[in-house]
């Protein structure tokens, strides 16, 4: 099956490819993966409707038997047993059909969740920087769930009810061909009404799903920034913003309910029942039908009630599911700037780095970096200095392709980073940032995150090198201590030492320290300074720091100003030749 090709930073081998060129094609490609279950559902729906039509036909025959003879209990018993047998069989088929439908829905939900999750892991940081987390969570949870409900009970009921609708049309001519007129007219009117209903409902359900995503985004943002909200006493304003979004979601749901309340097929059903019964009674009065035929025919017309009543719920569920599917597919298909480059360069890395006229801009904003050029030999230590906002962090994140250059080239070992296999490139580069992210797992799991097969001995060595072993042993459960989300149960210095241990364990060829000792006390800093100095031996190391002690021992110092490289050299050279560097150094001295 054809599938839309998407570039990604990370992909997994697909057992099955999905057609992502449109919402309905994407959904169909998921359905076709489980086509045997689809056949089971369809077969069960046909059998269910046919066996349901048997009841009014047999009831009509029973009335004729009663009217013709009061003592023919044998025939009545046969009819009763036939009804019982067919409905028991129908119940068994219904159980199988509903079980298959539930299994179908759960499998689709699982597959779509995995597809979406894999896609999100493959998106670039540019995407994740711009996409609200709350909206992603709403799509990954509620919208995926809506697709499950769209198939079961949604489409399951739609297909089943549609087949029910044709039973009166099929069986009515057995009594008189003209009796097919009423169900035929009803089906035509029903299709027209449903088409108009869905056309009116679609934008409303889309708004319901979007407003729920916005509501979730605002909630996630407020909870994530709860310290700032409380610190500035902005609880009241945040409650008001949340109330505004909640009102928008509520209004959308009410609008949807208003459309459902004006569901025209309910009126059409009443007209069809009245018109069909009148038609049958006229034929009875002319001697064309007997009373049993009238009863059977009216019973067949009652089968129209099931599709009409379930349509009120089922089609709304289908519309919500389609709206959710559009939102999920839009997220999966969102343009991605980076490519995994599976067949790219994979050889061992030495750590030589060269920037050639590199420029970078976030989207359409002004360039964050302009015409940056410099060379770093393997094993050298590079310090990057400059005022806040000069592009220091952006520069180092171009090396491992967290972002891709807008112009120019970055060469690692003489190979453009875009020509490297992305996984191979990143496995040889470790970045420790000021804002440390730790997972809500054990301490050992956080240290081993970059090398999950590492032995306890290697983890211990990495922790000791980062001066983290001492405080870890103070915890009652030691390395098995589970830390809170983002490491909130640890101090800033403890978090940064764990991050250092995580970086040391992977033994990178390029080590990037982005103000990674800013939250460490002076005593611990001396120890970590020695650990960093030891770790830098034989590695190309980039240090973004305000600490003069770290700047001085760098082999190369880069001075950035307003996104441009204004000076480069050793400490002694820059003190003699660069006024910008002298100013920075003296201010911090």
The pLDDT tens digits for 239-296 are 888 898 899 999 999 998 888 888 888 889 999 999 999 999 999 999 899 999 999 9
Residue 545, CA distances (Å) to 389, 431, 584 in order:
14, 14, 12
Q: DSSP letter at 131?
A: S
Residue 286's SS3 state is: coil
Selection from 210, 125, 117 nearest residue 218 by Cα: 210
CATH entry, 23-332, from 3.30.2010.10, 1.20.1560.10, 2.40.50.140, 3.40.50.720: 1.20.1560.10
pLDDT one-digit tens code per residue, 295-329:
999 999 999 988 888 887 888 888 888 888 998 99
Q: DSSP letter at 141?
A: I
pLDDT one-digit tens code per residue, 192-239:
988 888 888 888 888 888 888 788 877 877 877 776 777 767 788 888
Instruction: Confirm if 518 and 434 have CB atoms less than 8 A apart.
Output: yes
- Comparing 132 with 247, the larger pLDDT belongs to 247
Backbone φ/ψ region at 491: left (φ over 0), alpha (ψ -120 to 50), beta? beta
Length of the chain, in residues: 589
- What pLDDT score does 11 carry? 62
Q: Rounded distance, CA 568 to CA 12, Å?
A: 42
CATH entry, 353-588, from 2.60.40.180, 3.40.50.300, 2.60.120.560, 3.30.70.360: 3.40.50.300
Q: Rounded distance, CA 582 to CA 576, Å?
A: 8
Query: Which residues does residue 196 pair with via DSSP β-bridges, in sequence order?
Result: none
Residue 456, CA distances (Å) to 350, 423, 442, 462, 464 in order:
28, 25, 13, 10, 12
Q: Rounded distance, CA 503 to CA 513, Å?
A: 10
pLDDT one-digit tens code per residue, 458-500:
888 888 888 788 888 888 888 888 887 666 678 777 887 888 8
The 10 Å Cβ neighbour count of residue 309 is: 16
Selection from 566, 512, 509 nearest residue 538 by Cα: 509
Task: Please provide the average confidence, as pLDDT, over all residues in the chain.
Answer: 85
The residue extents of the domains of the chain are 23-332, 353-588
pLDDT one-digit tens code per residue, 26-74:
999 998 888 888 888 888 889 999 999 999 999 999 988 888 766 678 8
pLDDT at 574 over 70: yes
Query: Which residues does residue 513 pair with via DSSP β-bridges, in sequence order?
Result: 432, 543
The two tokens of residue 405 are 């250059």
Q: Rounded distance, CA 404 to CA 127, Å?
A: 12
Read off the pTM: 0.70
């Amino acid at each position: 099956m054809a599938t839309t090709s998407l570039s990604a930073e990370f992909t997994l081998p697909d057992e099955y490819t999905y057609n992502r060129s449109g919402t309905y094609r994407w959904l169909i490609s998921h359905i076709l993966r489980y086509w045997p279950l689809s056949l089971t559902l369809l077969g069960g729906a046909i059998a269910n409707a046919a066996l349901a039509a048997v009841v009014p036909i047999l009831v009509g025959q029973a009335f004729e038997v009663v009217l013709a003879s009061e003592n023919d209990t044998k025939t009545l018993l046969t009819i009763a047993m036939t009804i019982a047998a067919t409905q028991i069989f129908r119940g068994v088929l219904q159980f199988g059909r509903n079980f298959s439908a539930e299994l179908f829905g759960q499998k689709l939900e699982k597959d779509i969740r995995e597809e979406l999750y894999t896609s999100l892991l493959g998106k670039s940081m540019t995407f994740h920087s711009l996409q609200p987390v709350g909206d992603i969570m709403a799509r990954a949870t509620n919208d995926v769930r809506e697709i499950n409900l769209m198939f079961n009970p949604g489409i399951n009921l739609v297909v089943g009810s549609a087949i029910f609708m044709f039973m009166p049309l099929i069986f009515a001519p057995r009594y008189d061909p003209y009796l097919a007129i009423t169900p035929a007219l009803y089906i035509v009117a029903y299709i027209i009404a449903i088409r108009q209903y869905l056309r009116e409902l679609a934008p409303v359900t889309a708004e319901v799903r979007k407003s729920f995503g916005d509501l979730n985004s605002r909630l996630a943002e407020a909870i994530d920034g709860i310290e700032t909200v409380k610190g500035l006493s902005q609880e009241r304003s945040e409650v008001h913003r949340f109330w505004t979004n909640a009102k928008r979601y509520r209004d959308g749901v009410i609008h949807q309910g208003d459309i459902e309340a004006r569901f025209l097929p309910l009126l059409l059903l009443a007209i069809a029942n009245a018109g069909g019964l009148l038609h049958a009674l006229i034929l009875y009065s002319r001697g064309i039908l007997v009373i049993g035929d009238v009863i059977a025919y009216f019973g067949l017309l009652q089968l129209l009630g099931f599709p009409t009543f379930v349509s009120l719920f089922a089609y709304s569920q289908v519309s919500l599911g389609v709206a959710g599917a559009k939102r999920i597919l839009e997220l999966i298909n969102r343009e991605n700037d980076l490519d995994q480059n599976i067949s790219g360069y994979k050889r061992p890395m030495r750590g030589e780095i060269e920037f050639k006229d590199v420029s970078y801009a976030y989207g359409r904003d002004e360039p964050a970096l302009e015409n940056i050029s410099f060379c770093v030999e393997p094993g050298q230590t590079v310090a990057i200095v400059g005022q806040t906002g000069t592009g220091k962090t952006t520069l180092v994140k171009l090396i491992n392709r967290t972002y891709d250059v807008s112009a120019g080239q970055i060469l690692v070992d003489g190979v453009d980073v875009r020509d490297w296999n992305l996984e191979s490139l990143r496995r040889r580069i470790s970045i420790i940032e000021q804002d440390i992210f730790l997972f809500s797992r054990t301490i050992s799991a956080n240290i081993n995150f970059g090398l999950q097969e590492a032995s306890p001995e290697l983890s211990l060595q990495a922790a000791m090198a980062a001066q983290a072993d001492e405080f870890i042993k103070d915890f009652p459960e030691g390395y098995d201590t589970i830390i809170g989300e983002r490491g909130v149960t640890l101090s800033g210095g403890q978090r940064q030492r764990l991050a250092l241990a995580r970086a040391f364990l992977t033994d990178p060829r390029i080590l990037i320290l982005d103000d990674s000792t800013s939250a460490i006390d002076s005593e611990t800093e001396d120890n970590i300074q020695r650990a960093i100095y030891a770790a830098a031996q034989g590695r190309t190391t980039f240090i973004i720091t305000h600490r003069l002690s770290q700047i001085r021992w760098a082999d190369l110092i880069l001075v950035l100003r307003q996104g441009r490289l204004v000076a480069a050299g050793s400490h002694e050279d820059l003190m003699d030749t660069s006024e910008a560097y002298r100013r920075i150094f003296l201010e911090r001295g």
